[in-house]
Structure 1
Amino acid sequence: MELGSLREGLRFLALFLVGILLVIAGIWWFYSRPATPPVSDNNFSRADLGEAWPFTAEAGVLACEGSAGSGAVTFRTEGTVYAVNGVAAALAPARGWQTDLQPVVRSGVTGYATVAPVVERGLTLCRD
């Protein structure tokens, strides 16, 4: 075997191994990222919504887990996280969130106050 073809073979093998290492590094990076989208939260109180405030608690933390204006909106007060929209309700069993809002939503003349303004505000927290 001549020296030139041996060098060519070793060069090919070295490039092949570098390529394999890059693929492995890419796979490792992809699977080491967090499985859930980023969560954005914000202190949220009666002062933010005024008369439209639906909760019995005066304040809590409003959060959205998702991106591009879509995601799971939750409200945390007194150590309990409540699912506020349908996306959050679907994730609630796996995340340990409460889906029954009745204990924290104030009652009104026509039934329970609506959480629509809360959902709307919460979705603004979802980011890319």
Structure 2
Amino acid sequence: MPQRAGKRCPTPGCTNPTGPDGYCAERCARRRNAAAHRTTPTKVARASREVRRHRAEAVRAHLDQHDDGMGHCPGYGREPHDVFPGELTADDPVPIARGGDPLQQMAVLCRSCNSRKGAR
């Protein structure tokens, strides 16, 4: 059976074959990814150095408050539990995807609870 011809990049004027994401790997995929990064509110909000520092300070303050050598997760949909300190993440009480401020007061949850919560 003959092999099916590869698809071409959908960018006007580009004749390169497509990659796994549907665009050519040379220039069109990079341009599309850059545009998505600029226009997705959660990616823009978490990109600044100030926001990353704010999130790290929230986790550090939580660890200082619960100074027992282990991280303490208050739990989301389950009992409070101890985790390794590297498993703690800053959680946005009002999700950025729903209009929350990136510099709002942060809650701290473990990765599992933060994933369970999502953008609820």
Per the TM superposition, whether the score is higher than 0.5 is no
The bucket for the TM-score relative to the shorter chain is under 0.3
Q: Which has the higher contact order (CA 8 A, sep 6+)?
A: 1
* Greater C-alpha Rg: 1
